């Protein structure tokens, strides 16, 4: 499933790991409490994907598929499109309607359970360092 291709999104996942140890990251765990698997492909969804688990039950982000059962939702993106969605440069709902991203499962924010293509980019860290070393602020 995964290969040695370096993805630009890996830098974002490292930032998310650090974010989980902050007070804001701990609030996400309290508020969301779900597990997401994000599959990221270098060019085309379904080919040479790397999987990442964003576990908002335990407050962890790690590389590899989810191994403790089935994740609450699985998302698949190309590397570039994931970065666009995460940085707010691409509307997640538009991305799914244009088949840029793919989603399986349900998600919730502990107030209601929903099914369908929705990603809350406000849950990503407020500061993201891109691969060129520039910092993007939201």
Q: How far apart are the C-alpha atoms of 75 and 84, rounded to whole Å?
A: 14
pLDDT along the chain (138 residues), means of 10: 73 92 91 91 89 94 93 88 88 69 49 43 47 41
pTM for this predicted structure = 0.70
pLDDT of residue 77: 87
Q: Residue 137 has which token pair?
A: 């602020």
Q: Alpha-carbon distance 48 to 40, whole Å?
A: 8
Q: What is the DSSP string of 75-129?
A: EEEEHHHHHHHHTTSS-HHHHHHTTSSEEEEEEE-SS-EEESS---GGGS-SEEE
Tokens of 66: 């989810």
pLDDT digits (tens, 9 = 90+) for 2-37: 445 789 999 999 999 999 999 999 998 998 889 999
pLDDT of residue 28: 87
Contact in structure between 41 and 100 (CB atoms under 8 Å): no
Cα angle at 37 between 84 and 46, to 5 degrees?
A: 70
């Amino acid at each position: 499933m995964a290969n040695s291709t370096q993805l630009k999104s890996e830098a974002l996942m490292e930032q998310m790991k650090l974010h989980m140890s902050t007070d804001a990251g701990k609030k996400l765990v309290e508020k969301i409490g779900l597990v997401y698997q994000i599959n990221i492909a270098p060019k085309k969804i379904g080919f040479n994907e790397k999987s990442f688990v964003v576990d908002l039950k335990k407050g962890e982000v790690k590389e590899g598929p989810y191994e403790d059962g089935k994740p609450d939702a699985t998302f698949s993106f190309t590397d570039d499109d994931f970065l666009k969605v995460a940085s707010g440069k691409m509307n997640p709902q538009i991305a799914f309607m244009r088949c840029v991203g793919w989603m399986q499962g349900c998600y919730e924010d502990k107030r209601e359970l929903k099914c369908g293509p929705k990603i809350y980019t406000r849950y990503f860290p407020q500061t993201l360092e891109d691969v060129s070393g520039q910092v993007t602020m939201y």
